[in-house]
Amino acid sequence: MLNKSSKIYIPGHNGLVGKAIYDLLLNQGYKNILFKRKKELNLTNEEKVDKFFKKEKPEFLIICAARVGGILENKTYPLEFLLDNFSIQKNLLLAAKKYKIKRTIFLGSSCIYPKISKTPIKEDYLMTGKLEKTNESYALSKIVGIKLCEILHDKYNKDIICMMPTNLYGENDNFDIASSHVIPGLISKFILAKKKRLNVKIWGSGKPIREFLHVDDLARAILVLLKINKAKLKKIVNNELPILNIGSGESISIKNLALLIKKISQFKGKIVFDKNYPDGTINKNLDSKKIKKLKWNAKITLLDGLKKIINSRY
């Protein structure tokens, strides 16, 4: 089905996930990769997306494009997070239906799962409880995207796979302190504090436990699912819409993560935890047994991944 000359479209190719899978595909010899920069194609515009698909006729679609950010960004722009992500997903998925894409990969997030949940979190825990309030709008947009995938899969027999990665990080991350996720935000805080001889202030108690995955490991998982035989995948998911968690299996508290970054960066100042700010979900590690049945495992340890990023930024 997938071969080295297949036309693969990656909306969001410049982002954290998009660049990782784009680079991997190029390195693996896939030359026919389609992409458009944000200023060239507004993915929230249904007409423009439709015209692009009609003209370019992609065969495979990897939906990496999304409006993303940390707790502060989600809290500040809930309407934009909900509507922008819904529009992007809707336009791309409907185009995939109309133009008979051979396989679509839909990227979701572990934040779709309930705030209070048994751990490790399984795929069928979706919609069994209330969401974490700090990123509710983003999570809702992703849940609606999954449900649209489910309709297209069940009613229209479309080949769609939904991937739910845990907390991601990598060299191409957003390191802006105000809008970033936890790892790039912490790294930037430590670099700034070391430069200006300040203490590092961290939101919350430091108690929440998180599972982190290097984006290059996610890219390998995407390639596995692009290539996997449909019949083999159906056995693993019991003929339902394939929803697969993608996690490293390596969890750490925010406090210990901060101490690890402090050690790697050789920061000598103090870490202050501000309990006036929310913690978010307390424990969010995933059950990734389904993807592991397809012979995928994370290869990059958190220690090695952090060292590589921090050393490249100092």
The question of whether 9 is a catalytic residue gets the answer no
Helices (H), the chain: 16-27, 46-56, 71-76, 78-98, 136-156, 182-196, 215-227, 230-237, 254-265, 289-292, 302-313
Residue type, 91: N
Name the active-site residue from 9, 113, 138, 169: 138
| Residue 235 to residue 240: CA distance in whole angstroms | 9
Spatial CB neighbours of 153, under 8 Å, sequence gap ≥ 6: 159, 160, 241
For residue 305, give Cα distances in angstroms to 66, 136, 217, 301, 310: 24, 28, 11, 6, 9
| Residue 160 to residue 23: CA distance in whole angstroms | 22
Nearest Cα neighbor of 245 from 124, 143, 86, 114 is 124
Structure tokens at 269: 């100042």
Residues forming the active site: 138
